[in-house]
Structure 1
Amino acid sequence: MRSLDAHSDGVTSIAISPDGKRIVTGGISTPTMKVWDLRTFLMLKGESGHTQPVETVAISSDGKLIASGSDDRTIKLWDLHTLKLLDTITAHSGFVSKVAFSPDMQTLVSAGGGDDNTIRLIDLQTKKTRHILKGHKTGVDAIAITPDSKKLVTGSFGQLVSRNRAISTLKLWNLQTGKLLHEFTDNFNSVESLAISPDGKILICGNYDGSIKLW
């Protein structure tokens, strides 16, 4: 349909608004987050609030907020319609690899990369960290939240035990309490991507070895 010359280098993340009218993109080469009109394919604004490349972007389920995470170790919240900066949250000691809004709009989940292997559960009202989840041995590369906002799945590169084998790569958490509910010890590959079916019954995991696993 259309090809957008969005960023001068790799596109790190894409989010689409619930009404299907806007997309937000992050790029690896610049600290700029861009917002596009999906009907006209024109760029509405390029925001450079970050000082380093934008690793991840997300749009809230109510279509009002954008969250962007950057190599500058901050998360920024933006108004999707006015594109004004609302808050800056410093949550990780390393770069911010992933951000996601819970469907119930109560929690912002962020994942750390580099030397920070934690996941932060941030209260969207107070902007304070409610829980810090630990257990991954390396940076978290993927996160997914169940449609009922009760559970969180996280995936990482994992702790390598041999050239083609990694452990501690895939975990299930209680999103309210931060408690670890299950560790998928039968997943021996580093995790690249995660998705949960709309009915919340199936977890899909894309692994570094090219395989897709379903639970």
Structure 2
Amino acid sequence: MKLAGLKSVENAHDESIWAAAWVPATDERPALLLTGSLDETVRMWRPDELAPVGSPCKGHALGVVSVAAHPSGAVAASSSIDGFIRVFDVDSYASIATLEASPSEVWSMQFDPKGTILAVAGGGGSTVKLWDTSTWQLVASFPVPRPDGAPPDKTGSSKFVLSVAWSPDGKRLACGSIDGTIAVFDVARAKFLHHLEGHNMPVRSMVFSPVDPRVLFTASDDTNIHMYDAEGKSLVGAMSGHSSWVLSVDASPDGTAIATGSSDRTVKLWDLSTRSAVQTMKNHSDQVWGVAFRPPGGSGVRVGRLASVSEDRSISLYDYS
């Protein structure tokens, strides 16, 4: 497995780019790359030449920190420090709904595999909130409990929820917090199951394996990437190689690799059979806030794609093979 640099776009946004996600292909168009920036806008990009699609999508009052795409490829969402989530039509940018996440901000969100629920990590609200995508009504709010034996926290900072991830079967939801713990929920029963421990600093990004609903990968400020058995509550392995915070992680569609982005300005590709970094890309001049593999599907797609976005306002695109 390897990455090959395909294209980079400098000054893709007017300010730092903190979020990236792929909008799945439809019968009418290929997959598109969705990016969100502190310039308060969302942009979409074509998957090969990184040409912008239309004008920047505006509507937030503060920086965009998370973007997510519905599995149908027709709808996407963006969240901002302003406490609101904008849901919009991908092809027209037309607004579908505005969800109020206050009294706290939203730092991460993800649609479930069937596209029926949008899960939102509630920041200082210490909750994960679920919205029904047919009505855009709030249908559940899961409070994130403190770990057993954890010391009292008068500030509440250790409850701050930063990241969220769905298992590929849609049965489990995991969320990572600023204290380094990960909470796992049974969604159908709206029940907290257990904590996963091992990190000692904020868990900023998580992704389940696309081929094994038990396996969860997590990225942390402690410079490590962890691989958990989310059902058995066990730490299966730890991968290290970044020299600073690991800000983002994503899994390849074939389940054989993960990619990570770090504040050490690099993107790393990891072989899961050896649990080691096999390649380091140095396209960016500042910290890498997001990495995202293109999902499978679409006509004429022969190779994989990985995208990375950075504080330096650039986007890089790589062939993955």
TM-score normalised by length of structure 2: 0.60
1:33 aligns with 2:128: yes
Residues 186-211 of structure 1, C-alpha deviations (whole Å, 9 max, x = no match): 44331011111124611111111111
Q: Contact 2:196–2:230 at 8 Å: present in 1 too? A: no
153, 171, 178: which one aligns with 1:71: 178
Q: TM-score, normalised by structure 1?
A: 0.89
Aligned-residue offset at 1:125: 4.4
Kindly tell me the number of residue pairs found equivalent between the two proteins.
Answer: 204
Match of 2:244 among 125, 138, 147: 138
- How large is the Cα RMSD of the aligned pairs? 1.6
CA distance in 2, matches of 1:44, 1:95: 27
Q: Which has the larger radius of gyration?
A: 2
1:68, 1:47 → 2: CA distance?
10
The answer to whether the 8 Å contact 1:141/1:193 transfers is: yes
Amino acid at match of 2:215: T
Alignment of 1:1-215 (within 5 A): 1-51=96-146, 52-105=159-212, 106-113=214-221, 116-158=222-264, 166=265, 169-199=266-296, 201-215=304-318
- Counterpart of 2:218, as a letter, is S
Instruction: Give 2:255's aligned amino acid.
Output: S
Paired residues of 1:73 and 1:91 also in contact (CA < 8 A): yes
Aligned-pair CA distance for 1:20: 1.0
1:70-121, Cα deviation, whole Å (9 max, x unpaired)? 11321111112221112211120112111110001242101112xx111101
Report the AA paired with residue 239 of structure 2.
Answer: L
Q: Which amino acid aligns with 1:76?
A: A
Query: 1:56 touches 1:98 (CA, 8 Å); kept in 2?
Result: yes
Q: Partners of 1:49 and 1:189 in 2: how far apart?
A: 32
Q: Percent identity?
A: 30
Structure 2, gaps ≥5 residues long: 1-95, 147-158, 297-302
